[in-house]
Amino acid sequence: MRYDIVIIGAGPAGLTAAIYARRAGKSVLVLEKDSFGGQITFSPKLENYPGFESVSGNELAQRMLEQALGLGADVEMDTVTGLENGPVKTVIGEMARYEGRAVIIAAGARHRRLGLPREEEFIGNGLSFCAVCDGAFYQDGHAAVIGGGNTALQEIVLLSETCRKVTVVQNLAFLTGEQKMVDLVLSRPNVEILYSTVCVGYLGEAALTGLRLQNTLSGAETELAVDGAFLAIGTEPENLAYAALAPLNEAGYIKADESCTTPTPGIFAAGDCRTKAWRQVATAVADGAAAALNACRYLDR
Check if 140 is active-site.
no
Helix (H) or strand (E) holding 284: helix 281-299
Q: Which residues contact 95 (CB under 8 A, 6 or more apart)?
A: 76, 77, 78, 79
Spatial distance between the Cα atoms of 251 and 269, rounded to a whole number of angstroms: 15
Catalytic residue among 34, 74, 78, 134: 134
Residue 131, SS3 per DSSP:
helix
Check if 163 is active-site.
no
Check if 34 is active-site.
no
Catalytic residue among 4, 130, 227, 273: 130
DSSP assignment of 80-118 equals EEEEE-SSSEEEEESS-EEEEEEEEE---EEEPP---TT
Angle at 125 between CA 121 and CA 129, to 5 degrees: 90
The upper half-sphere exposure of residue 258, i.e. CA atoms within 13 Å in the direction of its Cβ, equals: 4
Spatial distance between the Cα atoms of 169 and 183, rounded to a whole number of angstroms: 17
Residue 267, SS3 per DSSP:
strand
Catalytic residue among 74, 78, 133, 163: 133
The residues annotated with a catalytic role in the active site are 130, 133-134
